[in-house]
Amino acid sequence: MIRLSRGILLAATCALAPAPAWAAAPFKPDVFIAATGGTIAGAQANVEQHGYTAGELGVASLIAAVPQLTDIANVTGEQVMNIPSQDMDDAAWLTLAKRLETLERSDAVTGIVVTHGTDTMEETSFFVALTVDTPKPIVFTGAMRPATAIGADGPANLYDAVAVAGSTLTRACGTVVVFNDQIHSARYVYKTDTTRPDAFTSVDRGPVGAVDTGHPVVFDGCAGSAFRQPMVPIAGISALPKVDILYAYAGMGRDLIDHAVLAGAKGIVMAGVGDGNVTEAALAGLRDASAKGVVVVRSTRVVAGFTMRNAEVDDDKDRFVASAELKPSKARILLKLALLKPSSLAEIQADFDTW
Q: Residue 137, interface with ligand SIN (CB under 6 A)?
A: no
Distance CA 210, CA 217 (A): 5
d(CA 284, CA 289): 9
Position among 144, 211, 321, 334 found at the interface with ligand SIN (CB under 6 A): 144
| 148 among known catalytic residues | no
Q: Where are the alpha helices (DSSP H) in 2-67?
A: 2-16, 59-64
The interface region with ligand SIN, picked from 19-27, 83-91, 264-272, 333-341 by CB under 6 A, is: 83-91
Minimum gap (Å) between residue 196 Cβ and ligand SIN:
11
Count of residues that interact with ligand SIN, criterion CB under 6 A? 11
Between the alpha carbon of residue 71 and those of residues 24, 27, 30, 159, 194, the distances in Å are 15, 10, 12, 10, 33
Residue 153 is a binding residue for ligand SIN (CB under 6 A): no
Does residue number 84 form part of the binding site for ligand SIN (CB under 6 A)? yes
At 272 the three-state DSSP class reads strand
Nearer of residues 39 and 300 to ligand SIN, judged by Cβ: 39
Question: Considering the rule CB under 6 A, would residue 39 count as an interface residue with ligand SIN?
Answer: yes
Q: By Cβ distance, which residue is nearest to ligand SIN? A: 117
**Could you say which of 36, 39, 118, 201 is catalytic?**
39
Which residue among 29, 35, 38, 127 contacts ligand SIN (CB under 6 A)?
38
Residue 92 Cβ vs ligand SIN, minimum distance, rounded to whole Å? 12
- Tell me: does residue 152 bind ligand SIN (CB under 6 A): no
Binding ligand SIN (rule: CB under 6 A), the pick from 56, 101, 104, 119 is: 119
59/222 with CB nearer ligand SIN: 59
- Of the pair 142, 328, the CB lying nearest ligand SIN is at 142
CA distances from 226 to 162, 306, 307 (A): 19, 20, 22
State the alpha helices, DSSP H only, in the chain: 2-16, 59-64, 69-72, 90-104, 121-131, 154-166, 255-262, 280-291, 315-318, 328-338, 345-354
| Nearest alpha carbon to residue 42 among 137, 166, 144, 138 | 144
Least Å from the CB of residue 76 to ligand SIN? 23
Cβ atoms of 112 and 178 within 8 Å: the answer is no
Shortest distance in whole angstroms from residue 154 CB to ligand SIN: 9
Residue 145, CA distances (Å) to 178, 223, 286 in order:
15, 31, 40
Q: Residues 6 or more apart from 184 whose CB is under 8 A from it?
A: 176, 177, 178, 200, 201, 202, 207, 208
Q: In the 8-state DSSP scheme, what is residue 25? A: P
- The reply to whether 85 sits near ligand SIN by the rule CB under 6 A is yes
Q: How far is the CB of 36 from ligand SIN (least distance, A)?
A: 9
Q: Does 79 bind ligand SIN (CB under 6 A)?
A: no
Q: Is residue 146 a contact residue for ligand SIN (CB under 6 A)?
A: no
Taking CA 251 as the corner, what is the angle to CA 245 and CA 256, rounded to the nearest 5 degrees? Answer: 35
Which residues in this chain contact ligand SIN in the complex, by CB under 6 A?
38-39, 54, 84-86, 117-119, 142, 144
- Residues carrying an active site annotation: 39
